[in-house]
A and B are shown apart, each in its own frame.
Chain A
Amino acid sequence: MSFRLEPRADASVALKLSVSLGAGLAALLLVAVPVLFAGRNPIEAYGLIIQGAFGSLFALSETLNRATPLILTGLAAAVAFRAKLWNIGAEGQLYIGALAAVLVGSGLLQMPPALLIPTVMIAGFLAGGMMMVLPTILKQRFGADEVVITLLLNFVVILLVQMLIEGPLKDPLAMGWPQSVPLLAEAKFAKLVPRLRMHWGLIVGIAGALILWFMVRKTVLGFEIKAVGENRAAARFAGIPVDATMLKVALISGGLPALPASARCLVSKATFPPTFRPALVIPALSLPCWPGCRPLAPSLPPSSSPPSSSAPTP
């Protein structure tokens, strides 16, 4: 008896849904194994996860706070994947975005907040975008693999940032801590709720998701991105500028993870310590790969995903 896997010609909505939910359930069941090994009750553990994520106003705020970069890095991977580009460099893009935010927002430019905040965010977006545009150009010109390049760029950027905040960008008032100079007061994001760390970055994240959804569904660019991703040869034959479209996607995809980074730097404390290391890559990438999920579906990641980002040092 031998088995063969063949794709289904068509799948019902119920099947797609059950596959999606089944995957989540399977993940929870797998988690139960190590929990049992540790001699604890998995049911209790699930309860604690839910309580920790939604149990109090503070917990909810922290969950949303941490969801923000996940939303945008998930979207970044998803929008790149729509054009069959792989963006594994969210972490590097996030760092470079934060770096750009600090460079622009810590005294270089003097503007009122209404101008400075968008300027800082655009700087972060462009810096992050370049981290995806360059690998894409290398891919187009030399056939270089963007998976490897974006992955390795993460380390390059992290080391660069460490060097800078130990050196030229080090805050002289930080009592020797490797920490960047603070952002100007005008560049800081307002808090959504007093005394919680939740901030406008969340709104930016949600707005980014909505704008992206609109772009993909309703615009010529979204149409062209889909055509390029699904069948490059047919897109080229139909006259869609394939390379230019991929570069646009790369800019968006690289820029998105940088947005919350610049936003985060714009939060109350507004410095940039080296322990700011949210390890976003894996959870963000897994979101668009969630079974049955269409790209761009993960605009709200499941909050049950393990706390994957270490909080910024307060």
Chain B
Amino acid sequence: MAYSDSIVLSLEGITKRFGKLVANDALDLQLRRGEILALLGENGAGKTTLMNILFGHYVQDEGIVRAADAQGTLQVLPPGSPGAALDAGIGMVHQHFALAENLSGLDNIRLGTEGLFAFGGKAAARKKVGQIIAESGLEVDLDRPVAALTVGEKQRVEILKALYRNVRVLILDEPTAVLTPQESEGLFTVLRRLAANGLGVIFISHKLGEVLSVSHRILVLRGGRKAGELVTADADRRAIADLMVGKAVAEVARTPATPGQTLLEFADVHLRQGSARQSLRGVSFALRAGEIVGLAGVSGNGQGGIAALISGLAIPDSGKVLLNNKPITTADPRALVAAGVARMPEDRQHDGVVGTMSVADNIAIEEVRGAAFSRMGLLDRKAMESRATSAIAAYDIRCPGPDAEARLLSGGNVQKLILARVLERTPQIILANQPTRGLDVGAQAEVHYRIIAARDRGAAVLVISEDLDELFALADRFLVVHAGEVSDAGPSDLLDRGAVGLLMAGQAA
């Protein structure tokens, strides 16, 4: 083994409850010097809770955290104190970066550690950061404002920020979610190098492949408990997958597509959105009846704009979006819903449901003005409830009943609720934006099955996903979006991950 045996971090018997939910159940974790430990588990398995306890954002109900001091002796970490965690040499890179966009990379690295205006501080800092870059290979332009950096570069600034504080333990929360496959490989190279220099790394992920490629040891969590702990070199992909979900994983079968006429078409669409990278610049493609088109791309390259146009939240600045050969001229979600478009939002908790309203309300919300659920401005509560009751049964939505508040539902059940809402009208066009992000394997299979079934009865489906495995499982044809431009990558049978990865990075395949 490449790593030494001295323990730098030890979590012992950590239990955390939220009401009746046990998020962490007597978890133990040891991290050694120079080791990359992967914390693997589905969403809701307790990974983030555990790391939040370690970093002092939550206070555990039971158990202690001990971290090595500079001499290598384990000291108990006081609960609930991020400051103490920092002092103990623990650094964390969150999924959502904590960077000041208007400051340079160098100032961001110094921010919080030292005063930005201290005399001579900048030169000393530049020297120290330069040394860290040389040792780790974390190349980044230190003088540009962070706003001008790519996502991958921002992540490198975050890691440098932690290393600048002389951390002995580095925690990375789903670091590859925002990276292309090639950028991910670069990150793994850096991590291996840092570990070889003695850093302890905890790598949180739910992607099996990358965990196998980068880690020395894997800790699998399921339902807040330790489902297994194994040395990566001896691990078998299948066995880990089964440990994660607790049951054998079935793949959804898909027959070849028989595309029909064009139902939705983008014709040279331009749309200004957020940053230049997210804006659409001359996007053209068509969705035909009876096919599933997968839209691949690193997040923030224009997927948001395409989804907004199909969702009725925006209209193009120039160019046309044609629905059944008629251009869409107003941003009106209700008109699109009435025209047979089913829309599954990217962030289902934020855009998909009103958490404090009931399951019945959330199923009816798109059509509440329609004859199905109201008459002369008065709600037909009975109709809403009976629709909800049948949807709960048909889509297996696990909830106490139609009156239960939607916020009590798990992510998978919220997605089933949305499926029930949008598929009930047998839509002709379906936008599935990150349809299974964060779902467990059972719910994932259910969603995939519904999408394929809709295609088989003749719907045109656009699946937007950051998960290439999902796109390969679902899509008949690939589109790849990069910096606001969409390229047709052709039928999925003729593609492999590498070719799609190159297109995602903006290079011709």
* Chain A residues engaging chain B, CB cutoff 8 angstroms: 2, 4, 6, 8-10, 218-224, 226-227, 230-231, 233-240
Within 8 A of A (CB), among B301-342: 311-313, 332-334, 337
* Chain B residues engaging chain A, CB cutoff 8 angstroms: 18-21, 59, 79-80, 311-313, 332-334, 337, 343, 345, 350-357, 361, 365-366, 368-369, 374, 377-379
| Residues of chain B with a CB closer than 8 A to A8's CB | 19
In the assembly, what is the distance between CA of A223 and CA of B361, in Å?
8
Given the interface pairs A220-B378, A239-B333, the reply to whether A9 lies near B20 with Cβ below 8 Å is: yes
Given the interface pairs A2-B80, A231-B354, A239-B312, the reply to whether A218 lies near B378 with Cβ below 8 Å is: yes
In the assembly, what is the distance between CA of A220 and CA of B369, in Å?
7
In the assembly, what is the distance between CA of A10 and CA of B18, in Å?
11
| Residues of chain B with a CB closer than 8 A to A236's CB | 313, 333
Determine which residue in A222, A230, A238 has the highest number of CB atoms from chain B within 10 A of its CB, and name it. Answer: A238
In the assembly, what is the distance between CA of A233 and CA of B345, in Å?
11
In the assembly, what is the distance between CA of A8 and CA of B366, in Å?
31
In the complex, residue of chain B having the shortest beta-carbon distance to the beta carbon of A6: B18
Which among B59, B312, B355 is the interface contact of A2 at CB below 8 angstroms?
A: B59
In the assembly, what is the distance between CA of A221 and CA of B337, in Å?
20
- Smallest Cβ distance from A27 to chain B, in angstroms? 28
Cβ–Cβ contact A227 & B357, under 8 A: yes
| Residues of chain B with a CB closer than 8 A to A227's CB | 354, 357, 361, 365
| Residues of chain B with a CB closer than 8 A to A9's CB | 18-21
In the complex, 18 of the A-B residue pairs with CB atoms within 8 angstroms, ordered by the A residue number, are A9-B20, A218-B378, A218-B379, A219-B379, A222-B379, A223-B379, A227-B354, A227-B357, A227-B365, A231-B350, A231-B353, A233-B350, A233-B351, A237-B311, A237-B333, A239-B332, A239-B334, A239-B366
In the complex, residue of chain A having the shortest beta-carbon distance to the beta carbon of B356: A230
Cβ–Cβ contact B366 & A238, under 8 A: yes
Given the interface pairs A219-B379, A220-B378, A237-B311, the reply to whether A231 lies near B332 with Cβ below 8 Å is: no
- Smallest Cβ distance from B2 to chain A, in angstroms? 39
| Residues of chain A with a CB closer than 8 A to B353's CB | 231, 234
- Smallest Cβ distance from B126 to chain A, in angstroms? 39
| Residues of chain A with a CB closer than 8 A to B355's CB | 230-231
In the complex, residue of chain A having the shortest beta-carbon distance to the beta carbon of B365: A238
In the assembly, what is the distance between CA of A240 and CA of B350, in Å?
15
Given the interface pairs A8-B19, A220-B374, the reply to whether A237 lies near B345 with Cβ below 8 Å is: yes
Cβ–Cβ contact B354 & A230, under 8 A: yes
| Residues of chain A with a CB closer than 8 A to B379's CB | 218-220, 222-223
Cβ–Cβ contact A223 & B352, under 8 A: no
In the assembly, what is the distance between CA of A239 and CA of B311, in Å?
9
In the assembly, what is the distance between CA of A234 and CA of B356, in Å?
12
| Residues of chain A with a CB closer than 8 A to B354's CB | 226-227, 230-231, 234-235
| Residues of chain B with a CB closer than 8 A to A219's CB | 377-379
Given the interface pairs A238-B366, A239-B366, the reply to whether A230 lies near B378 with Cβ below 8 Å is: no
| Residues of chain A with a CB closer than 8 A to B345's CB | 237
| Residues of chain B with a CB closer than 8 A to A238's CB | 333, 365-366
Cβ–Cβ contact B19 & A224, under 8 A: no
In the complex, residue of chain A having the shortest beta-carbon distance to the beta carbon of B364: A223
Cβ–Cβ contact B79 & A2, under 8 A: yes
Which among A218, A234, A240 is the interface contact of B351 at CB below 8 angstroms?
A: A234
| Residues of chain A with a CB closer than 8 A to B369's CB | 220
- Smallest Cβ distance from A232 to chain B, in angstroms? 9
Cβ–Cβ contact A230 & B357, under 8 A: yes
| Residues of chain A with a CB closer than 8 A to B334's CB | 239
- Smallest Cβ distance from B356 to chain A, in angstroms? 5
| Residues of chain B with a CB closer than 8 A to A220's CB | 368-369, 374, 377-379
In the assembly, what is the distance between CA of A4 and CA of B59, in Å?
8
In the assembly, what is the distance between CA of A145 and CA of B378, in Å?
33
- Smallest Cβ distance from A192 to chain B, in angstroms? 32
| Residues of chain A with a CB closer than 8 A to B337's CB | 239
Which among B18, B79, B352, B377 is the interface contact of A234 at CB below 8 angstroms?
A: B352
In the assembly, what is the distance between CA of A78 and CA of B179, in Å?
46
In the complex, residue of chain A having the shortest beta-carbon distance to the beta carbon of B311: A237
In the assembly, what is the distance between CA of A240 and CA of B312, in Å?
12
| Residues of chain B with a CB closer than 8 A to A237's CB | 311, 313, 333, 343, 345, 351-352
In the assembly, what is the distance between CA of A233 and CA of B337, in Å?
17
| Residues of chain B with a CB closer than 8 A to A239's CB | 312, 332-334, 337, 366
- Which 5 residue pairs of A and B lie closest in terms of their CB atoms, listed nearest first? A9-B19, A239-B333, A239-B334, A231-B354, A238-B365
In the assembly, what is the distance between CA of A208 and CA of B365, in Å?
27
Cβ–Cβ contact B333 & A4, under 8 A: no
Determine which residue in B80, B352, B361, B365 has the highest number of CB atoms from chain A within 10 A of its CB, and name it. Answer: B365
| Residues of chain B with a CB closer than 8 A to A234's CB | 350-354, 365
- Smallest Cβ distance from B431 to chain A, in angstroms? 11
In the assembly, what is the distance between CA of A219 and CA of B376, in Å?
9
| Residues of chain A with a CB closer than 8 A to B311's CB | 237
Cβ–Cβ contact B368 & A223, under 8 A: yes
In the assembly, what is the distance between CA of A8 and CA of B20, in Å?
10
| Residues of chain B with a CB closer than 8 A to A233's CB | 350-351
In the assembly, what is the distance between CA of A224 and CA of B364, in Å?
11
Cβ–Cβ contact A226 & B357, under 8 A: yes
- Smallest Cβ distance from B11 to chain A, in angstroms? 19
| Residues of chain A with a CB closer than 8 A to B343's CB | 237
In the complex, residue of chain B having the shortest beta-carbon distance to the beta carbon of A227: B354
- Smallest Cβ distance from A280 to chain B, in angstroms? 29
- Given A234-B365, A236-B313, 4 additional A-B pairs, CB 8 A: A223-B379, A227-B361, A227-B365, A230-B355
In the assembly, what is the distance between CA of A2 and CA of B355, in Å?
31
In the assembly, what is the distance between CA of A234 and CA of B365, in Å?
10
